[in-house]
Chain A
């Protein structure tokens, strides 16, 4: 199995519902406005304008030439972040998911500077939530003896990033095994995919030639970010057509 996501930029309206669903699903801490200005906001899924050609001006409305991109972690097949982690706090599993273990991370931030996509974030302070945000937290967590992942509340000083909602995968697998049946790939749906307003996001197994993602990946509109860097990202975008 190789989990992959396809995002159709024609259908995306940049509503940021994905980003919001993600932060609630994964207990992303909020930061104060002065911290956000410094660039310390944590957005596992980020929505932003990306110039099509960085050397050209993006233009003036209505002749703007830019992508509006929604960006989770690429879960690369050749992840530069995994290569540099000194303690294997980040690693790629057999299904192609690049995991992050908060219990082992030493906070050296080598992975954050190695990632060319900028998908990794750091806990500069102890995470906090205000008011009602503190009440509605996702109780899911992935935890074992020296492992802490997913929506589990992070301590300060560790790196975090999009996990493709790996806790949902675990829950769905556990559910299937309880019901004594095989697990189906289409039961595993990350929060951002589930919530997408424009139905622009698709998720599935790239190793299954019949899956939606495999079929969409063959589209002439399909491209990946920074393809020439050699990271083999598994998030596939469909260009606005």
Chain B
């Protein structure tokens, strides 16, 4: 017998699925155009070589690698909210989980693409499988990121499964192909209590695994830099630093996405302001945590005064990258902290403003970690003192990556419910009733 779940927001959550509007089609057309422009830019690069970028000696890594780190970092939003907060028993997260995880699965492919785009011989990418050397941090990267991407898709799909079945059953006036898609993807889900029970158990187990993966993935990404001997990169703190940065930028991205969805799809009831207030508290912690990491890193470098480290240090604090560094500090820490603490409570507009600043700032932060170190190699001499000016090719490709992510996300929201109907059903029901603990100790939804 299928389980009876009532979600009083069901109709508003399913409303966007009635079909794309002309506004959607216009947005998608623009995004496709931008992706096409990026494709053209990449075609130039494919035929001529990486010389069409601003990369040079010694700045061999630039915008593309920045994009790689940034997109992988963004992906941590979903896992943080659906896995880590799940384990912490934070019931308020439930309406957000799918929107956050969708960021994960739609940003990871663009992170991976960034690496392929950066390679001099991308057609030889499979060499990493045939001739892979496990001593190289890039292999650790490859393993961790592919496992993470694969697991995120599975986790996402499983969380989506009952709602696909819901669409299959409810959206009977949708186009035939859409109904066929729901039937296919629903895998015959019947919604029996036993199925829900097993699903929850698997999600609990996967949440633990995904949490471990999250920690591993971004640490391993940072070790591509940390495992070299280069000043500014070779730091023990780089793992935790990148990890915190990823969760930080990811959570800020969730705020932005949530606000947009709420406005565009009229989900004010399903996504109340209290969600933003909960995220606000987390973001305040993350901003302060980021400050802690920055102080720990730069004070240590400054106090030690090793000459190769100081060359890179001054590049960031007063040299060629000073404007970028200080802009980043203002955008990632100063303004967001002020806004989150004093202006953000109950005010979604301010929350989004701060979160947009955080994300732009975090992109700059990745750039500031990667490039200044390359411009000040140990063997300082005039012929090599480096500069780097990205070209339109790198800009167009970056724009295409963001457009692609937004396009996939926007299209997804028109065909699948972006707020989990089955997961929020319990929360919406008799909230007054307290529930017994299950065998394994995780409390079911109940009072807030």
Contacts and interface: CB of A to CB of B under 8 A. Distances in A.
| In-complex A–B contact (CB below 8 Å) | yes
A104 B57 contact: no
Contacts of A114: 228-230
A185 B196 CA distance: 75
Contacts, number: 157
Contacts of B379: 50, 71, 116-118, 225-226
A220 interface: no
B378 A40 contact: no
A216 B258 CA distance: 70
Given A87-B128, A108-B118, A113-B230, A39 B49 contact: no
Contacts of A129: none
Contacts of A109: 60-61, 118, 120
A113 B61 contact: yes
A196 B128 CA distance: 40
Interface in B38-79: 48-51, 54-61
B84 interface: no
Interface stretch (B87-95, B129-137, B247-255, B272-280): B129-137
Given A49-B381, A116-B230, A54 B311 contact: yes
Contacts of A108: 115, 118-120, 138
B49 A156 contact: yes
A118 B48 CA distance: 24
A83 interface: yes
A150 to B, nearest CB: 19
Nearest to B389: A38
A121 B51 CA distance: 13
Contacts of B383: 39, 46, 48
B261 interface: no
Interface string A39-51: 1110000101111
B127 interface: yes
Interface residues of A, number: 50
Given A48-B383, A107-B119, A157-B50, A118 B127 contact: no
A25 to B, nearest CB: 21
A124 interface: yes
A73 B382 CA distance: 19
Contact of B136 (A85, A113, A122, A123): A85
B27 interface: no
B144 to A, nearest CB: 14
Interface in A62-116: 71, 80, 83-89, 104-110, 112-114, 116
A112 B374 CA distance: 10
A52 B298 CA distance: 26
B236 to A, nearest CB: 16
A38 B56 contact: yes
Contacts of A40: 51, 56-57
Given A55-B307, A104-B124, A84 B382 contact: no
B382 A122 contact: no
Given A39-B57, A108-B120, A116 B381 contact: no
A124 B386 CA distance: 16
B157 interface: no
Nearest to B51: A124
B323 to A, nearest CB: 21
Contacts of A117: 378-379
B25 interface: no
- Of the listed residues A51, A156, A229, the one surrounded by the most CB atoms of chain B closer than 10 A to its CB is A156
Contacts of B55: 124
Interface string B298-310: 0000000001000
Nearest to A88: B133
Give the contact-size bracket for chain B.
35 or more
Contacts of A229: 229, 378
B171 interface: no
Contact of A107 (B56, B121, B137): B121
B224 interface: yes
Contacts of B59: 39
B229 A106 contact: no
A158 interface: yes
A35 B51 contact: yes
B374 A122 contact: no
Contacts of B119: 106-108, 157
A80 to B, nearest CB: 6
A71 B380 CA distance: 13
A110 B131 contact: no
Contacts of A116: 229-230, 377-379
B139 interface: yes
A88 B124 CA distance: 13
Interface of B: 48-51, 54-61, 115, 118-122, 124-125, 127-128, 130-133, 135-139, 142, 224, 227-230, 307, 311, 374, 377-384, 386-387
Question: Which 9 A-B residue pairs are closest in the complex by CB-CB distance?
Answer: A107-B120, A157-B120, A124-B51, A86-B138, A156-B49, A39-B56, A87-B131, A125-B49, A86-B136
25 contacts: A38-B54, A40-B51, A48-B384, A51-B381, A71-B379, A80-B228, A86-B127, A86-B128, A87-B130, A87-B132, A89-B131, A104-B131, A106-B119, A106-B125, A107-B119, A107-B122, A108-B115, A109-B118, A109-B120, A110-B224, A112-B60, A117-B379, A118-B377, A122-B60, A125-B48
Given A40-B51, A116-B378, 13 more contacts: A38-B56, A39-B57, A39-B384, A85-B136, A87-B128, A87-B131, A106-B125, A106-B128, A107-B121, A113-B228, A117-B379, A125-B49, A157-B50
